[in-house]
């Protein structure tokens, strides 16, 4: 008796059926169009890198999530954790041939040994945009404009672009006499403020700083009010960068309701140095759907040249979850718009000709492969959500006609065969 392999996949990874892929491709094309609209060019980096390229760039906790292993040649390698570090490596290796500033986007898979949860997987897509080779805050403002463009293009009416500055956080920590050596660890704990309560944050901070400093830190970063009110309260910590960014971001016509200065925003990754971002969909509580910021020193890990950069990564899978919950896939269909029927060998040539005529009109169409009952062919079209079925049986062929059935309404229309191209051209325009 034959033994079958159980069809299973690793936890935190997924298969995608055509219905799923239709949603993903729809969203991905929307995101890509926003990137291209702002003049970003596509790049690609390998899925696997030397471990030394990946490790030590994100902080101790994040590095624990890197998939690391030995290949057949005994080389120490790792799967891509994000796209920013490989991008920095790429720039270091190719900067002489790149226009500076260099604007890129990359839509690709990354891998993390994280605990799977809603909108969180071990293998998932990130959609990155970066500008490297300029320190001008106009770059941060454009990134904010790209973020707004992406979410409005997709169809989100409500989204919040939270922003802060790592320099501001460092200034606050300096004022509390927290040493530079401890600051990265403090920031990583502060980054958990959205996930755990104030008391737990203080307990985690105690091994690094005293309780009074921990409470003062949380009091400072937790202030409320308008952006102007917050900036006034934080003025002694040097807020020039925040003020300038806010002013420049307004030039990109980002609605004030979509842009929020949040002094508690920290971002846990170690390589951030300036303005940082996190984006949320208020109606869908799944965490940040986009995040990133300024990184000044990342490329210097790979070459002597200094290239300051700023970029964000869109959490593609979380965006899909949010789109599903908010009903942003209402009118989505699979690729095929028309199914041409196949009755017998005598009608096959006509069916194939009609197929080619429909495709010539710019409509995605397919033919059924077996000469079976019309009911079975209709069931196939229904299961694939194909909106039109072109019926060309012996009777239609004898009259040089064709019947078009609209699957959603059940209505039918009979037209001459030579009008099929014009019919679907009209549908295409509609």
Nearest-angstrom CA–CA distance, 286 and 264: 19
Question: pTM, whole model, 2 decimals?
Answer: 0.85
C-beta of residue 303 within 8 angstroms of C-beta of residue 313: no
The answer to whether domain 338-429 has CATH 3.40.50.1980 is: no
pLDDT of residue 119: 67
**What are the angstrom distances between the C-alpha of 260 and each of 164, 249, 254, 257?**
9, 11, 11, 7
The tens digit of pLDDT for each residue in 257-303 reads 999 999 999 887 788 899 999 999 999 988 899 999 998 878 888 88
Domain boundaries, the chain: 18-168+250-325, 338-429
Nearest-angstrom CA–CA distance, 234 and 242: 11
Beta bridge partners of 278: 162, 291
Tell me, yes or no, if the two domains 18-168+250-325 and 338-429 fold the same way: no
> Which stretches of the chain drop beneath a pLDDT of 50?
429-430
pLDDT of residue 327: 93
pLDDT of residue 430: 37
Nearest-angstrom CA–CA distance, 199 and 214: 10
pLDDT of residue 429: 43
Nearest to 274 by CA among 238, 230, 224: 238
The tens digit of pLDDT for each residue in 95-147 reads 999 999 999 999 999 999 888 777 678 999 999 999 999 999 999 999 999 99
pLDDT of residue 198: 86
Exposed e or buried b per residue across 260-299, where buried means at least 16 C-beta atoms within 10 angstroms of its C-beta = bbbbbbbbbbbbbbbbbbbbbbeebebbbbbbbbbbbebb
C-beta of residue 130 within 8 angstroms of C-beta of residue 84: yes
Nearest to 348 by CA among 363, 369, 364: 369
Nearest-angstrom CA–CA distance, 200 and 218: 12
Tell me which CATH homologous superfamily contains domain 18-168+250-325: Bira Bifunctional Protein; Domain 2 (3.30.930.10)
């Amino acid at each position: 008796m034959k033994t079958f392999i159980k069809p299973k996949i690793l936890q935190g990874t997924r298969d995608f059926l055509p219905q799923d892929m239709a949603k993903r491709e729809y969203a991905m094309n929307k995101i890509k169009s926003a990137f291209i609209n702002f003049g970003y060019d596509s790049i690609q980096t390998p899925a696997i890198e030397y471990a030394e390229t990946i490790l030590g760039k994100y902080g101790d906790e994040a590095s624990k999530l890197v998939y690391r292993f030995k290949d057949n040649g005994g080389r120490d390698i790792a799967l891509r954790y994000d796209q920013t570090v490989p991008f920095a490596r790429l720039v270091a290796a190719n900067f002489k041939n790149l226009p500076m500033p260099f604007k890129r986007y990359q839509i690709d898979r990354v891998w993390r040994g994280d605990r799977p949860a809603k909108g969180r997987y071990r293998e998932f897509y990130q959609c990155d945009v970066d500008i490297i080779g300029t320190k001008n805050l106009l770059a941060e403002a454009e990134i904010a404009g790209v973020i707004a463009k992406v979410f409005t293009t997709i169809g989100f009416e409500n989204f919040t672009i939270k922003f802060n500055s790592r320099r501001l956080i460092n200034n606050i920590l300096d004022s509390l006499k927290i040493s530079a050596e401890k600051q990265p660890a403090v920031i990583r704990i502060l980054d958990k403020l959205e996930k755990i309560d104030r008391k737990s944050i203080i307990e985690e901070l105690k091994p690094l700083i005293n309780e009074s400093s921990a409470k003062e830190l949380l009091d400072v970063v937790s202030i409320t009010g308008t952006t102007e009110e917050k900036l006034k309260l934080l003025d002694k910590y040097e807020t020039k960068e925040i003020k300038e960014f806010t002013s420049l971001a307004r030039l990109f016509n980002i609605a004030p309701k979509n842009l929020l200065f949040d002094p508690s925003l920290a971002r846990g990754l170690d390589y951030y140095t300036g303005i940082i971002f996190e984006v949320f969909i208020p109606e869908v509580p799944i965490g940040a759907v986009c995040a990133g910021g300024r990184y000044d020193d990342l490329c210097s890990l790979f070459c002597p040249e200094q290239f300051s950069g700023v970029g964000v990564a869109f959490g593609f899978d979380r965006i899909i979850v949010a789109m599903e919950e908010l009903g942003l896939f209402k009118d989505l269909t699979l690729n095929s718009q028309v199914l041409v029927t196949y009755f017998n060998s005598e009608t096959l040539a006509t069916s194939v000709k009609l197929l080619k005529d429909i495709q010539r009109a710019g409509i995605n169409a397919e033919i059924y492969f077996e000469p079976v009952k019309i009911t079975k062919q209709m069931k196939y079209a229904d299961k694939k959500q194909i909106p039109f079925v072109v019926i060309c049986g012996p009777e239609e062929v004898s009259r040089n006609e064709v019947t078009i059935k609209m699957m959603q309404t059940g209505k039918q229309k009979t037209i001459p065969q030579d009008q099929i191209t014009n019919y679907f051209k009209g549908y295409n325009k509609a």
